[in-house]
Amino acid sequence: MDPVIIMEAANATAERLTGWTPWEFTWDLIRKGDCTMFEGAKWTLLPNGTATFDATVTSGEDDDAWVIWHVDLLNRDGAVLGSLATEHPIGGDGRKFVLNMPNSADRYRFRAWATFDPALWNDIASLKMHSSC
Protein backbone atom coordinates (compact mmCIF):
# COMPACT_ATOMS: atom_id res chain seq x y z
CA MET A 1 0.00 0.00 0.00
CA ASP A 2 1.28 3.41 -0.92
CA PRO A 3 0.49 6.10 1.62
CA VAL A 4 -1.79 8.81 0.33
CA ILE A 5 -2.37 12.20 1.91
CA ILE A 6 -6.01 12.02 2.86
CA MET A 7 -6.57 15.43 4.33
CA GLU A 8 -4.78 18.48 5.54
CA ALA A 9 -6.56 20.35 8.29
CA ALA A 10 -6.69 24.01 7.46
CA ASN A 11 -6.56 26.51 10.27
CA ALA A 12 -10.36 26.77 10.08
CA THR A 13 -10.73 23.13 11.15
CA ALA A 14 -8.50 23.52 14.17
CA GLU A 15 -10.07 24.74 17.36
CA ARG A 16 -8.37 25.73 20.60
CA LEU A 17 -10.40 24.40 23.49
CA THR A 18 -10.73 26.24 26.78
CA GLY A 19 -8.84 25.47 29.97
CA TRP A 20 -5.57 23.73 29.27
CA THR A 21 -5.84 24.88 25.62
CA PRO A 22 -5.53 21.65 23.62
CA TRP A 23 -5.72 21.72 19.82
CA GLU A 24 -8.57 19.74 18.28
CA PHE A 25 -8.28 18.80 14.58
CA THR A 26 -11.33 17.21 12.93
CA TRP A 27 -11.94 15.72 9.50
CA ASP A 28 -14.95 15.40 7.22
CA LEU A 29 -15.93 12.05 5.67
CA ILE A 30 -12.92 10.29 4.10
CA ARG A 31 -13.16 7.41 1.61
CA LYS A 32 -10.20 5.31 0.49
CA GLY A 33 -10.92 2.27 -1.68
CA ASP A 34 -13.55 0.16 0.10
CA CYS A 35 -12.95 1.98 3.38
CA THR A 36 -14.73 4.90 5.04
CA MET A 37 -13.66 7.10 7.93
CA PHE A 38 -16.79 8.88 9.10
CA GLU A 39 -17.10 12.62 9.66
CA GLY A 40 -15.80 13.74 13.04
CA ALA A 41 -12.50 11.83 13.10
CA LYS A 42 -10.41 13.82 15.55
CA TRP A 43 -6.82 14.27 16.72
CA THR A 44 -6.57 16.15 20.02
CA LEU A 45 -3.12 17.55 20.93
CA LEU A 46 -2.22 18.68 24.43
CA PRO A 47 0.53 21.14 25.36
CA ASN A 48 2.37 18.42 27.35
CA GLY A 49 3.24 16.60 24.10
CA THR A 50 0.51 13.95 24.16
CA ALA A 51 -2.16 13.33 21.53
CA THR A 52 -5.22 11.12 21.09
CA PHE A 53 -7.10 10.00 17.99
CA ASP A 54 -10.75 8.94 17.86
CA ALA A 55 -12.62 7.90 14.71
CA THR A 56 -15.20 5.47 13.40
CA VAL A 57 -14.23 3.42 10.34
CA THR A 58 -15.62 0.61 8.23
CA SER A 59 -14.78 -1.35 5.09
CA GLY A 60 -16.80 -3.04 2.37
CA GLU A 61 -14.32 -5.95 2.45
CA ASP A 62 -13.61 -8.46 5.23
CA ASP A 63 -10.09 -8.51 6.73
CA ASP A 64 -9.21 -4.96 5.71
CA ALA A 65 -7.08 -2.48 7.65
CA TRP A 66 -6.96 1.29 7.93
CA VAL A 67 -3.33 2.44 8.09
CA ILE A 68 -2.26 5.92 9.15
CA TRP A 69 1.33 5.93 7.90
CA HIS A 70 2.20 9.13 9.74
CA VAL A 71 0.75 12.41 10.97
CA ASP A 72 2.84 15.51 10.37
CA LEU A 73 2.73 18.64 12.52
CA LEU A 74 2.89 21.75 10.34
CA ASN A 75 3.62 25.39 11.08
CA ARG A 76 1.60 28.29 9.63
CA ASP A 77 3.74 28.22 6.46
CA GLY A 78 3.04 24.51 5.90
CA ALA A 79 6.54 23.39 6.87
CA VAL A 80 6.80 20.04 8.67
CA LEU A 81 7.86 20.50 12.29
CA GLY A 82 7.82 16.81 13.19
CA SER A 83 5.48 13.81 13.35
CA LEU A 84 3.33 12.17 15.98
CA ALA A 85 4.94 9.09 17.51
CA THR A 86 2.75 6.13 18.44
CA GLU A 87 2.84 4.64 21.92
CA HIS A 88 2.44 1.20 20.27
CA PRO A 89 4.96 0.86 17.38
CA ILE A 90 3.99 -1.53 14.60
CA GLY A 91 6.78 -3.49 12.98
CA GLY A 92 9.31 -1.11 14.50
CA ASP A 93 7.64 1.93 12.89
CA GLY A 94 6.97 4.50 15.59
CA ARG A 95 4.86 6.73 13.32
CA LYS A 96 2.34 4.15 12.01
CA PHE A 97 -1.16 3.53 13.42
CA VAL A 98 -3.21 0.51 12.24
CA LEU A 99 -6.74 -0.71 12.85
CA ASN A 100 -7.72 -4.14 11.52
CA MET A 101 -11.33 -4.52 10.40
CA PRO A 102 -12.17 -8.26 10.22
CA ASN A 103 -15.88 -7.98 9.35
CA SER A 104 -17.26 -5.74 6.60
CA ALA A 105 -20.66 -5.62 8.32
CA ASP A 106 -19.24 -3.82 11.37
CA ARG A 107 -18.15 -0.29 12.21
CA TYR A 108 -15.00 0.00 14.30
CA ARG A 109 -13.78 2.64 16.71
CA PHE A 110 -10.22 3.64 15.81
CA ARG A 111 -8.42 4.94 18.91
CA ALA A 112 -4.75 5.84 19.06
CA TRP A 113 -2.37 7.52 21.49
CA ALA A 114 0.72 9.43 20.49
CA THR A 115 3.41 11.84 21.63
CA PHE A 116 5.28 14.76 20.09
CA ASP A 117 7.96 17.23 21.16
CA PRO A 118 6.15 19.70 23.45
CA ALA A 119 8.67 22.39 22.45
CA LEU A 120 6.82 22.52 19.10
CA TRP A 121 3.51 23.47 20.75
CA ASN A 122 3.50 27.20 19.96
CA ASP A 123 4.41 26.61 16.31
CA ILE A 124 1.75 24.00 15.42
CA ALA A 125 -0.88 25.39 13.02
CA SER A 126 -2.23 22.28 11.26
CA LEU A 127 -1.87 18.54 10.78
CA LYS A 128 -1.38 16.43 7.67
CA MET A 129 -2.48 12.79 7.96
CA HIS A 130 -1.07 10.27 5.47
CA SER A 131 -3.09 7.06 5.24
CA SER A 132 -4.49 4.25 3.12
CA CYS A 133 -6.79 1.28 3.38
- Residue 57 contacts by C-beta under 8 Å, 6 or more apart in sequence? 35, 36, 37, 38, 66, 99, 101, 107, 108, 110
**Over its length of 133 residues, how does the chain's per-residue pLDDT go in tens digits?**
444 444 443 333 455 544 467 889 999 999 998 999 999 999 999 999 999 999 999 999 999 999 999 999 999 999 999 999 998 888 889 899 999 999 999 999 999 999 999 999 999 999 999 999 9
CA distance 131 to 72: 12
- Residue 77 contacts by C-beta under 8 Å, 6 or more apart in sequence? none
Asked if CATH classification 1.10.1740 holds for the domain at 4-132, the reply, yes or no, is no
Give burial (CB, 10 Å; 0-12/13-18/19+) of 20. exposed
Neighbours of 105 (CB within 10 A): 8
Residue 83: per-residue pLDDT: 96
CA distance 78 to 127: 9
Q: Could you tell me the residue ranges of all domains in the chain?
A: 4-132
Residue 5: per-residue pLDDT: 44
